[in-house]
Amino acid sequence: MLVYEPLWAANTGTIASPELTQEACHFIRGWVRTNIGAQQAEVVRIVYGGSVTETNADKIIELPDNDGFMMGSTSTKPIFRTIFDVVNGHVERV
């Protein structure tokens, strides 16, 4: 598992756009493909480790090269249930 979190967003609450997140996750998967192997690139899990909220979870979980979230302090708050439901709904559709 690899975690993508923009350095400029770490511990700031600043949220990376879905477009930037997809671009970074796609780059990481491509790096794995080139440097480790195609099979590994298909099975590696790349998760978003930046701020996850009820307003961005649905957009980020849908990205083709993102496989989930690494939750921080949000996991201790009531809003975590909403984010959980968003992710669970995505899994049921896949």
Asked if the 2-93 domain carries CATH number 2.40.50.100, the reply is no
Task: Please tell me the distance from the alpha carbon of residue 44 to that of residue 71, in angstroms, as a whole number.
Answer: 18
pLDDT of 65: 96
Average pLDDT estimate for 56-64: 93
Cβ neighbours of residue 1 closer than 8 Å, sequence gap 6 or more: 44, 45, 46, 47
Task: Please tell me the distance from the alpha carbon of residue 79 to that of residue 69, in angstroms, as a whole number.
Answer: 14
Cβ neighbour number for residue 24 with a 10 Å cutoff: 20
pLDDT of 23: 97
Is 70 exceeded by the pLDDT of residue 89?
A: yes
pLDDT of 28: 97
Q: In this predicted model, what pLDDT tens digit does every residue of 1-58 receive, in sequence order?
A: 999 988 887 777 778 899 999 999 999 999 999 999 999 999 999 999 888 888 889 9
Domain spans, the chain? 2-93
pLDDT category of residue 93 using cuts at 50, 70 and 90: low
Signed CA dihedral, 35, 41, 43, 45: sign only: positive
pLDDT of 35: 98
pLDDT of 12: 76
